[in-house]
Chain A
Amino acid sequence: MVVKGRVLVDGSAEGPLLMLNAPLSFWGGVDPKTGRISDPRHPQHGREIAGTVLAIPTPRGSSSSSAIMLELITRGLAPAALLLGEADAILALGIVVAREMGHRTLPALEVPVADLMRLPAGWLRIETGGTVRPSAAHKS
């Protein structure tokens, strides 16, 4: 199964899908020193977002989340890719600024929530141009 997203920041990446099951503000909700979900009220508290294909059906929260995204990128603790249920000028902007500052970036796509929900668990590959597909290499 293949899902096509609208490209917010282009690129290719792969990693295990982490689907957020509740809204999460990166500021106050993700520790930029560990890359883990640090909001104790979040049902996925303690999960590591670094290296994942992070799917966020409903982006939420503080405008400082851009700064947390940039910090995660510079520390090598960012997700491998972001799949947002709706375009968000906050998280994707952290990636845009990282690119201006000469850091490695990650792809970010806007993917309708209905399509996000159809994504299979496991490894996903993001291809330039916004295609998301299960990664055969890690299918088991």
Chain B
Amino acid sequence: MTLALTAAERALIEGAQGPAAAMAMRIVVEAARLMGAASLVAVESAHLDGCLYHGDSGVHFAERMVALGGKAAIPTTLNVGALDLLHPGRVRFDPETAAMARRLMTASEALGARPSWTCAPYQAGHRPRLGAHVAWGESNAVAFVNSVLGARTNRLGDFLDLCCAVTARAPCYGLHLDENRRARIVIDATALSAPLRSLDVFYPVLGAFLGSEAGSTVAVILGLPAGTDEDRLKALGAAAASTGAVGLFHAVGVTPEAPDLETVLGGGVPEHRILLTPPMLRDARDRLSTAASGTERIDAVAVGSPHFSVPEFRALARLAHGHRFRVPFYACTSRASLDVIEREGMREPLEAAGVEIVVDTCIVVAPILPPDAGVLMTNSGKFAFYAPANTGFATIYGGLADCVASAVSGRVTRDELAWS
């Protein structure tokens, strides 16, 4: 397919708005060509995943863009960096790495993006409207903005999100187009017990299952309770986007593009229908734990991937009330949510119980966990998925209440009842 560009788009390549916009446009056009897009689409907002330090090459790219005069042309938020800028010392990098990580965060901000430093920008004031075309990076944020808000973005790689922000254009293919948003796989959860579906602990497991079964194919879930809250959908999408290349999922009666099954199938016949059974779910749950079965002792607990929201902090505060944790307990969040919990007077009692609040970054992207790797308990499907490779910790997956109970005793305590 040949790519048709407008006169304005061609002018950008030719340098009408300076060398940074020209370089960004060359990369956007190249991405469009390699994905077979017929055109570009104007985008309203961007979320940039490129501010996390993975090596000097990314710093040099961002600094090149800044040096060439690059500026975000649309409202743009920033994903996590590798440093907790509000709590120096939380992240144990050597000075050289910390300096490079800082340079990358500085360059990202110099592009005119909002220093939100969160993987949940949608809970920090950045909420595109239904049907809006946007350019977002960070796999969980992409899954959320497509699925829960009904805005439209592909899963953009690092650098492409930045180039889209500078040009206000994205390659028009994939999830920008109606025909690619209809569901092609049905995942039927109606046979699972209502009590299981009423628990937080169910959602990351369902997401992990969906990601490994569906990959990049759009799936629709049947059987989620009406009014399933967005923190559960956030957890579902983050797990799905970890175990598979999920950019969009639907849930009938819950997400905006799935009022009923017929609509979300777009008149098509599903390629595949999966009736979920309790053993399938238990298997998906067990795959989120890498610690040897029978492990009793835990060394740390981490929550907040995606970043903990204010309602999640309230739930944690209720569970932790009156307790004192025996192991380090990390809660990763955004500055935006931290502001609210400080205003609501929640921070002090949480810290008194032993909660260590991490902002701007998180425990799987920066060295925050205790230096001697051991066993990490988490309620996050995404942490459970990435912690073994990124931190060396073995994982045990459980719900938030399980995590708190285990942190209090220092031993694995999980409510198995709902899974039987």
Q: Is A90 an interface residue (CB 8 A)?
A: yes
Contact A64 to B49, CB < 8 A, known contacts A71-B55, A87-B36, A97-B27: yes
The reply to whether the CB of B207 lies closer than 8 angstroms to some CB of chain A is no
Chain A neighbourhood of B388, CB < 8 A: 39-41
| Interface residue B390 (Cβ < 8 Å from any Cβ of A) | yes
Please tell me if the beta carbons of B245 and A66 are within 8 angstroms of each other in the complex: no
Bound-complex Cα distance A69 to B294 (A): 38
- A97–B156 alpha-carbon span in the complex (Å): 13
Question: How far apart are B168's CB and chain A's nearest CB, in angstroms?
Answer: 18
Q: In the assembly, what is the distance between CA of A61 and CA of B239, in Å?
A: 11
Indicate if A128 sits at the interface (CB-CB under 8 A): no
> Beta-carbon contacts of B22-64 to A below 8 Å, as 1s and 0s?
0100110011001110000000000001101011111011001
With contact pairs A32-B54, A58-B215, A74-B57 given, residues A97 and B35 touching in the complex (Cβ less than 8 Å)? no
User: Closest CB-CB distance, A41 to chain B, in whole Å?
Assistant: 7
CB atoms of A87 and B35 under 8 A apart: yes
Pick the contact of A66: B26, B60, B138, B159 (CB < 8 A). Answer: B159
Cβ of A133 within 8 Å of any chain B Cβ, yes or no, is no
B155 at the interface (CB under 8 A from A): yes
Distance (Å) between the CB of B197 and the closest chain A CB? 27
* Residues on the A chain within 8 Å of B159, using CB: 66-67, 70, 93-94, 97
Known contacts being A89-B31, A94-B159, A100-B26, is A39 close to B57, with CB within 8 Å? no
Q: Tell me, yes or no, whether A80 is within 8 Å of chain B by CB.
A: no
Contacts of A59 in B (CB 8 A): 245
* Residues in chain B near residue A71, CB distance under 8 A: 54-58
Are the C-beta atoms of A93 and B27 separated by less than 8 Å?
yes
- A117 to B: closest C-beta gap in Å: 17
Min CB distance, A11 to chain B, in Å?
13
* B146 within 8 A of partner (CB): no
User: CB distance B58 to A70 under 8 Å?
Assistant: yes
Minimum C-beta distance from B214 to chain A (A) = 11
Does residue A92 face the partner (Cβ distance < 8 Å to B)?
Answer: yes
Within 8 A of B (CB), among A30-69: 32, 38-41, 58-68
- Residues of chain A within 8 A of B157, CB atoms compared: 63-67, 89-91, 93-94
Q: Does chain B have a CB within 8 A of A29?
A: yes
| Among B30, B60, B157, B161, residue most surrounded by chain A Cβ atoms (within 10 Å) | B157
B134-145: contact bitstring with A at CB < 8 Å (1 yes, 0 no)? Answer: 000111001000
Question: Are B31 and A96 in contact, CB atoms less than 8 angstroms apart?
Answer: yes
Tell me whether B158 is interfacial, beta carbon within 8 Å: yes
Residue B237, interface by CB 8 Å = no
Closest chain-A Cβ to B92's Cβ sits at a distance in Å of 17
Q: Is B409 an interface residue (CB 8 A)?
A: no
Most B CB within 10 A of own CB, among A28, A38, A74 = A28
Tell me the minimal C-beta distance from B111 to chain A in angstroms. Answer: 15
* B24 nearest in chain A by CB position: A100
Does A73 belong to the interface (CB within 8 Å)? yes
Q: Contacts A64-B54, A75-B55 known; A96 to B27 CB distance under 8 Å? A: yes
A112–chain B nearest beta-carbon distance, Å: 14
**Which of chain B's residues have a CB closer than 8 A to the CB of A64?**
49, 52, 54, 157-158
Q: State whether the Cβ of B304 lies closer than 8 Å to any Cβ in chain A.
A: no
Residues of the A chain whose Cβ atoms lie less than 8 Å from the Cβ of B55: 32, 67-68, 70-71, 74-75
With A59-B245, A63-B138, A98-B57 already in contact, 20 other A-B pairs whose C-beta atoms are closer than 8 Å: A9-B34, A39-B388, A41-B389, A58-B245, A61-B245, A62-B139, A63-B49, A66-B159, A67-B55, A67-B158, A70-B58, A73-B57, A74-B55, A89-B31, A89-B154, A90-B157, A93-B30, A93-B158, A93-B160, A97-B159
30 contacts between A and B (CB under 8 A): A9-B34, A27-B54, A32-B55, A39-B388, A58-B245, A60-B215, A60-B244, A61-B139, A61-B242, A61-B245, A63-B138, A63-B155, A63-B156, A66-B158, A66-B159, A67-B58, A67-B158, A70-B58, A70-B61, A86-B216, A91-B157, A93-B157, A94-B158, A96-B27, A96-B30, A97-B27, A97-B61, A100-B26, A101-B60, A101-B64
